[in-house]
Structure 1
Amino acid sequence: MSEKESKAKEMHQVELIIGQILRIGVIVSATVIVLGIILMLIQGSGGYPNGIQPTGFKEILSGVLALRPFAVIMLGLFLLILTPTLRVAVSIYAFAVEKDHLYVWITTAVLIILIIASVIGYFGG
C-alpha cells in the first residue's frame, strides 16, 4: 500500500469518526432534552421558582443531579452546542494528517473563536 493510499484510508477513518461524533452528539443531546421534558411533564414544573433558572455549569450539574427538569434540558442544549465544537477540534487533526497547514491554522482559529465566544457567553460579557 502506497503512502497516498494509506493517507486516504486514514482520512476516510477520520471522516467516519467526525460523522459519528455529530450523530452521537445529536442523539445524546436530543435524548437528554426529551428526558428533561418528560420530567417536566411528570413533576408539573421546571423545578425552579418563576424567573430563576440555572445559568452556570455548576448550577446546571447540581440541578441535573437533583432531577430538576429545566437543568436537564439545559444540559441537553449544552451538549448540542458542544457537538460541533468537538467536530472542529477533530477536523484540526484531520487537516494535520493531510499536512494541510493552511486549514490547520484556519480551523484552529475557528476553534479559538468558538471557545472565546463560549467563555464570553458564559460570563455574560
Structure 2
Amino acid sequence: MSENNPELEKISKEMAQVEIMIGQILRIGVIVSAVIMLVGFITYGVQGTTGFAHNGFPTTITAIITGLGTFKAGSVMMLGLFCLILTPVLRVIVSIYAFYVEKDHLYVWITTAVLVILLIALFIGHS
C-alpha cells in the first residue's frame, strides 16, 4: 500500500530511521554510563575513598559537579549513574518526535505526560 502513496513511504522510512536512532541512543547511553562508572570505580580503587565524608556519595547535581571538579571517585560514579537514568528520558523525547511524525497525537500527549512525570520524579526524587 505504501508503494502507491509516496507520503506514507516517506513516513515509513523516517520511522525506521527513528527506531534505529532509539536503539542507538539506548546502546550508547548504557555504554557511556558503564565506562564512566568504571572510571569512577577504578578511581575509587586507586584513591581508596569516594572523596566524601564517611565514604558516602553526592546526592545532588551540584555536589556531583563540584566533586567532578576535583575528580572525586564518588562524583564520577554518580555521573555514570545519572547518565544511565537520563538514557530512557532521552528515549522518551525521541519517541515524542516519532509519534509526532506519525501524526499520532494521542500518543504524543501520552508520551509527553510520561516525560513530565519522569522529570518531576527526577527533581523530586533527590529530596
| Aligned equivalents of 2:31, 2:57: Cα separation in 1 | 24
Q: How does 1:85-104 map onto structure 2 within 5 Å?
A: 85-104=89-108
Counterpart position of 1:115 = 119
Q: Which structure 1 residue ranges, 5 or more long, are not aligned?
A: none
Q: How does 1:28-67 map onto structure 2 within 5 Å?
A: 28-50=32-54, 52-67=56-71
AA at the equivalent of 2:66:
S
2:20 is the alignment partner of 1:9: no
Report if aligned partners of 2:37, 2:81 keep a CA contact under 8 Å in 1.
yes
Q: Which structure 2 residue ranges, 5 or more long, are not aligned?
A: none
Instruction: Among all aligned residue pairs of Structure 1 and Structure 2, give the percentage whose two residues are the same amino acid.
Output: 58
Cα offset for 1:52?
4.5
Alignment coverage as a number of residue pairs: 123
DSSP 3-state at the match of 1:105: helix
Cα offset for 1:61?
1.0
- Give the CA RMSD over aligned residues: 1.2
Report if aligned partners of 2:57, 2:78 keep a CA contact under 8 Å in 1.
no
Cα offset for 1:88?
0.3
Cα offset for 1:117?
0.8
| Aligned equivalents of 2:9, 2:106: Cα separation in 1 | 22
Deviations 1:9-56 (A, max 9, x none): 000111111111111100000000000000000111111120653221
Counterpart position of 2:28 = 24
| Aligned equivalents of 2:12, 2:33: Cα separation in 1 | 31
AA at the equivalent of 2:94:
V
| Aligned equivalents of 1:77, 1:53: Cα separation in 2 | 11
